[in-house]
Amino acid sequence: MQGEATPNRRLTEIFGKDALTFLQGMVSNDVLPLGKGPGIVWAALLTPQGKYLADFFVVNTGATLLLDMPEVLADATLKRLSMYRLRADVTLTPSALHVTRGVADAPAGALPDPRHGALGWRLYSDFTGSAAAIDWDNIRVAHVIPESGMELIPDESYLLEMGFERLHGVDFRKGCYVGQEVTARMKHKTELRKGLAQVRVLGDATLGAEISANGKPVGQLFTRSGDLALAYLRFDRATGEMQAGEAKVTLA
């Protein structure tokens, strides 16, 4: 198998007759199609003010319904979901499965990563081995794909600024969910003033370094791969040459 085990993820089974309808009212994407058979949806959980709390995959493996989320956000996310569950027929329980991902030669049962074709496939199974190391940061930087714990910051990030619409992580036709009003309002603005972008970096700069231009703050530098990096920028100031520490930064 040309893939690798994915560490720092927690898989949780979610079942009960209300499982999908419960999630539908909570997350940014339309998960109801998963009731028809195997599939995978990327979605986010938001605050009532529309700010990012967590992102995860909702997966129908054909045998079970799973939540695949970052380990660092799992406790808080599951606690919040349980708080909203009320009387719904929904049960959340740890899964014994593991997630493996790769970019070529997808094995039987693998599902395509819904964010971008360059991210390959994800497989939910008993397999725990590793066969091929893949530079995921290089892929993310090349295609401007944010990652929780890096570019996606709980209680701070907004989905549309982070590219969730382009990456198939938000649905504007599905109806209400927590944080939907703010997200819809941002969608119908003429244009976003801030957001995630790819930049070229020449020189040394630390992760999280402030980017400035003409003495004014422009944004923040995040994941870097070679001379390219992801940065959160204020677009009206991100023109010409910028600085981050000792490095020169330009829009790529």
Task: Give the pLDDT of residue 86.
Answer: 87
CA nearest to 57, candidates 7, 124, 107, 1: 124
CA nearest to 149, candidates 203, 200, 74: 74
Task: Give the pLDDT of residue 127.
Answer: 78
130 has a pLDDT exceeding 80: no
- Average confidence (pLDDT) over 103-119: 95
Q: Mark 64-93 as b/e (b = at least 16 C-beta within 10 Å).
A: ebbbbbbeebbeebbebbeeebeeeebebe
Tell me which amino acid residue 48 is: P
CATH class of the domain at 193-252: mainly beta
Equal CATH topology for 4-141 and 193-252: no
Spans of all domains in the chain: 4-141, 193-252
Q: Structure pTM?
A: 0.94
Task: Give the pLDDT of residue 29.
Answer: 98
CATH number for the domain whose boundaries are 4-141: 3.30.1360.120
**Cβ contact 245:206 at 8 Å:** yes
Task: Give the pLDDT of residue 133.
Answer: 82
pLDDT > 90 in the chain, percent? 90
Task: Give the pLDDT of residue 97.
Answer: 96
Q: pLDDT tens, 163-174?
A: 999 999 999 999
